[in-house]
């Protein structure tokens, strides 16, 4: 069903992205790009649920589980991240089911759902802090440097490898998004977000559909956490878990636009560039300023531009419902320098 023009645009865009590190290898800029890609993937994962009105503030918890389970298994049991990451993802998925099932079964929606998931990220943060003998508590945690095979330990020194890994993961996220976008689940979930009773009456299995999307979203977020941990080689409860991270996801997704596939990516580009610019511009005096700007922007966006930058741009660009992908690409391009 994908139009010819779209396909070509994606092809060109991807080729350019893959070729980029071989042409341009400034390590700092590559580092920023890797961060953007990893966080974009996390934000995309969040939006999978968020776009259907399932606003979760528990994704900080899932991300923390992905990161910490992988790192703990590596350090304490010597399990390679190749096994540790899937275990972390399964753990996050199990937690999502445990919390999600009663929520959806007993129809906890809206405020209640947000607050229950908020509790979830609170629990994960407290558990990581409380088990400080193993996790290092709030001081953070460093996976041991691999002595042998780098590939087995998923630790690479050069940025180009990481860039390609992050790109692949990010692309995987976008592909999953499109698969869901084309599936029946999407229509079911849209119906549910409009009116649960009506959807149930029309034969939609509300609990199962919601659980499915929550599971996908949680597992992907855990993967993002694990990749982030492997890349940074240092995690603290505050950078990968907790309420601040959850809110950051919500914020980026909303700023970029959570109803379009590249929206969360645009959100990541904007937030990370904003934070970096402030950090470089103001140095240590910038502590706090980036969040201040985030917060003000978040409030302004929700009041004036609830569809996000990319979503609103697309609305403006297209008179008809379907838009060629090339326009979307252009929208991303125009959204970037304006930050």
Partner 1 sequence: MQAFLDIFDIYLLEAVINGILLGGVLALLALGLNLIFGVIDVTWICYAELVMIGMYAMYFMVQYYGVSYFIAAPLTILLVAILGALLHYLVIAPLLTAPPINQLLATGGVLFVLQSFATVAFGIDFLNLGIRLPVLAFGDMHFSYARLLSFLAALVGMVAVYLFMTRTFTGTAIRAISQDRQIMALMGVDTKRIYLITSAIGGGLAGLAACLLVLQYDVHPFVGLSFGPITFLICVLGGLGNFIGGFIAAFVFAEIISLGGLFSDLEWGYVLAFAFFIVMMFIRPAGLLARRR
Helix axes 308-317, 242-256, angle to 10 degrees: 10
Does 287 sit near partner 1 (CB under 8 A)?
yes
Does 294 sit near partner 1 (CB under 8 A)?
yes
Does 292 sit near partner 1 (CB under 8 A)?
yes
**Interface with partner 1 (CB under 8 A), residue from 24, 28, 82, 106:** 106
| CB closer to partner 1 out of 11 and 288 | 288
Q: Total number of residues binding partner 1 (CB under 8 A)?
A: 47
- Sequence-ordered list of residues with C-beta below 8 angstroms from that of 35, at least 6 positions apart, any chain: 272
**Interface with partner 1 (CB under 8 A), residue from 21, 93, 100, 122:** 122
Does 298 sit near partner 1 (CB under 8 A)?
yes
Does 27 sit near partner 1 (CB under 8 A)?
no
Give 300-308's long-range contacts (Cβ < 8 A, gap of 24+): 301/254, 301/255, 302/254, 306/254, 307/257, 307/259, 308/253, 308/254, 308/255, 308/256, 308/257, 308/258, 308/259, 308/260, 308/263, 308/266, 308/267
125 with 64: CB under 8 angstroms? yes
Number of C-beta neighbours around residue 103 at 10 A: 22
| CB closer to partner 1 out of 177 and 251 | 251
- Sequence-ordered list of residues with C-beta below 8 angstroms from that of 113, at least 6 positions apart, any chain: 54, 55, 56, 103
Does 295 sit near partner 1 (CB under 8 A)?
yes
Tell me which stretch binds partner 1 (CB under 8 A): 40-48, 51-59, 199-207, 212-220: 51-59
Q: Decide: residue 289, CB within 10 A, 0-12 exposed, 13-18 middle, 19+ buried.
A: middle
Residue with tokens 């400034």: 26
Does 306 sit near partner 1 (CB under 8 A)?
yes
Tell me which stretch binds partner 1 (CB under 8 A): 31-39, 70-78, 118-126, 309-317: 118-126
Could you list the residues that contact partner 1 (CB under 8 A)? 53, 55, 57, 98-99, 102-103, 106-108, 110-112, 114-116, 118-120, 122-123, 126-127, 129-130, 242-244, 247, 250-251, 254, 287-292, 294-299, 302-303, 306
């Amino acid at each position: 069903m994908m139009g010819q023009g779209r396909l070509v645009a994606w092809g060109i865009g991807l080729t350019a992205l893959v070729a980029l590190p071989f042409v341009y290898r400034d390590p700092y800029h590559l580092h920023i790009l890797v961060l953007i890609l990893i966080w974009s993937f996390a934000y995309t994962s969040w939006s999978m649920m968020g776009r259907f009105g399932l606003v979760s503030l528990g994704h900080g918890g899932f991300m923390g589980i992905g990161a910490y389970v992988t790192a703990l298994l590596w350090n304490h049991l010597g399990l390679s991240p190749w096994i540790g990451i899937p275990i972390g993802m399964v753990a996050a998925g199990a937690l999502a089911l445990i919390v999600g099932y009663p929520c959806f079964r007993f129809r906890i929606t809206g405020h209640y759902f947000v607050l229950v998931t908020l509790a979830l990220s609170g629990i994960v943060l407290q558990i990581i802090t409380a088990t400080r003998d193993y996790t290092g508590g709030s001081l953070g945690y460093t996976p041991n440097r691999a002595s042998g095979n780098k590939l087995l330990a998923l630790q690479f020194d050069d940025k180009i490898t990481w860039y390609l890994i992050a790109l692949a993961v990010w692309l995987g996220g976008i592909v999953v998004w499109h698969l869901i976008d084309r599936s029946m689940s999407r229509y079911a979930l849209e119906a549910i977000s409009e009116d649960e009773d009506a959807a149930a009456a029309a034969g939609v299995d509300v609990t199962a559909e919601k659980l499915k999307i929550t599971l996908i979203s949680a597992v992907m977020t855990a993967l993002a956490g694990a990749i982030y941990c492997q890349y940074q080689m240092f995690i603290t409860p505050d950078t990968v878990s907790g309420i601040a991270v959850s809110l950051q996801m919500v914020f980026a997704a909303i700023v970029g636009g959570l109803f379009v596939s590249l929206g969360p990516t645009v959100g990541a580009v904007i937030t990370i560039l904003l934070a970096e610019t402030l950090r470089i511009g103001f140095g240590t005096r910038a502590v706090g300023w980036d969040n201040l700007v985030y917060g003000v922007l978040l409030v302004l966006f929700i009041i004036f531009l609830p569809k996000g930058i990319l979503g609103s741009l697309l609305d403006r660009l297209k008179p008809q419902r379907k838009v060629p992908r090339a326009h979307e690409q252009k929208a991303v391009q125009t959204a970037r320098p304006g930050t």
